[in-house]
Amino acid sequence: MTKKVTDSNSIRAEISELIACLYLMSKGFAIFRNMIPKGPIDFVAVNLETKEAHFIDAKTVVRKGHKARRRHTPEQEKLKVIFAYLSPNQAQEMLENYHINFVNEKGEDIEI
């Protein structure tokens, strides 16, 4: 049986965060990611039209059909942090349906 990319907790969390970033980018937001592994937010999303900024913390829902609702920390409450929830199944489906062409230095399509 082939292991899915979303089998590791840390990889699942990173994929959820990246997909949330990509989704918001596709909706016209600029994304600014946190450079340290711990903190009250994962990234800042700025609407390029309205200039409104949102502090986002991405969360991965691991149980099928489970609508997790985590509590905000006092610091997150003060910052009005928004939680973005994504399930690993949704992430895996998005990754499988996204096609990327890899091209080497000779201009040839390659598989990696």
Q: What is the pLDDT of residue 1?
A: 44
Mean pLDDT score across all residues of the chain = 82
Q: What is the pTM of this model?
A: 0.74
Q: What is the model's pLDDT at position 67?
A: 57
Domain boundaries, the chain: 5-98
DSSP per residue over 79-112, as a string?
HTPEEEEE-HHHHHHHHHH----EE-TTS-EE--
Instruction: Please state which of the four CATH numbers 2.60.220, 2.20.200, 2.40.50, 3.40.1350 is assigned to the domain occupying 5-98.
Output: 3.40.1350
Which tokens hold the place of 27? 């909706």
The predicted-structure confidence for 4-39, as pLDDT tens digits, reads as follows: 555 677 888 888 899 899 989 989 999 999 998 788
